[in-house]
Amino acid sequence: MVVHEREPFNAEPPRTALAGLAETPVDAFYSRNHGPVPDIDPAVWRLRVDGLVEKALELSSDDLRARFDEVEVVATLQCAGNRRAGLIEVRDVPGETAWGPGATATARWSGVRLADVLTEAGAAPTAGHVAFAAPDVSRLADPPQTYGGSIPIVKALRPEVLLAWSMNGRALPRVHGGPLRVVVPGWIGARSVKWLTRITVRAQPSGNYFQATAYRMLPPEADPSKAGPGEGISLGPLALNCDILSPDDGARLCPGPAKITGYALAGDDRTVARVDVSLDAGGSWIQAEVAEAAGPWAWQHWSATLDLPVGDVQIIARAWDCTGAAMPESPAHLWNPKGYANNSWARVRVRCA
User: Binding residues for ligand MTE, per CB under 6 A?
Assistant: 29-34, 77, 79, 134, 136, 147, 176-177, 189-190, 192-195
- Minimum distance, C-beta of residue 301 to ligand MTE, in the bound complex (Å): 19
Query: Smallest distance, Å, CB 151 to ligand MTE?
Result: 12
The residue number whose beta carbon is nearest to ligand MTE equals 189
Please, what is the minimum distance in Å from the beta carbon of residue 97 to ligand MTE?
11
Query: Minimum distance between the CB of residue 257 and ligand MTE, rounded to whole angstroms?
Result: 35
Question: 57 vs 193, which CB is nearer to ligand MTE?
Answer: 193
The smaller minimum CB distance to ligand MTE, of residues 177 and 186, is found at 177
CA pair distance 188, 178, nearest whole angstrom: 19
Whether residue 179 contacts residue 45, with contact meaning beta carbons closer than 8 Å, is answered with yes
Closer Cβ to ligand MTE, 68 or 209, answer by number: 209
Least distance from C-beta 133 to ligand MTE, angstroms? 8
Smaller CB separation from ligand MTE, 235 or 327: 235
Provide the minimum distance between the beta carbon of 298 and ligand MTE in the complex, in angstroms, as a whole number: 15
**With contact defined as beta carbons under 8 Å apart, do 247 and 348 qualify?**
yes
Given the complex with ligand MTE, which of 30 and 320 has the nearer CB atom?
30
Would you state the torsion angle of the CA atoms of residues 91, 94, 100, 105, taken in this order, to the nearest 10 degrees? -130
* DSSP H stretches of helix in 173-248: 209-212
* CB of 223 closer than 8 Å to CB of 164: no
CA 56 to chain centroid: 30
Pairing assessment for the beta strands 104-113 and 71-78 based on DSSP bridges? antiparallel
Backbone CA torsion sign across 282, 286, 291, 292: positive
Instruction: Name the residue nearer to ligand MTE (CB basis): 294 or 348.
Output: 294
Nearest to ligand MTE of 177, 247 (CB atom): 177
Q: How far is the CB of 343 from ligand MTE (least distance, A)?
A: 15
What CA–CA distance (Å, rounded) separates 315 from 308? Answer: 9
SS3 130: strand
The span from the CA of 235 to the CA of 214, in Å, is: 9
Closest to ligand MTE by CB, 235 or 275: 235
Work out the number of other CB atoms within 10 angstroms of the CB of residue 120.
17
Q: Which is nearer to ligand MTE, 146 or 344 (CB)?
A: 146
Separation of alpha carbons 331 and 342, rounded Å = 7
* Cβ at position 349, least distance to ligand MTE in Å: 27
- The secondary structure of residue 53, as a DSSP letter, is B
Minimum Å gap between C-beta 219 and ligand MTE is 22
User: How far apart are the C-alpha atoms of 132 and 229, rounded to whole Å?
Assistant: 18
Conformational region of residue 311, where left means phi above 0, alpha means psi within -120 to 50, and beta covers everything else:
left
Which residues pair with residue 106 across a beta bridge? 76
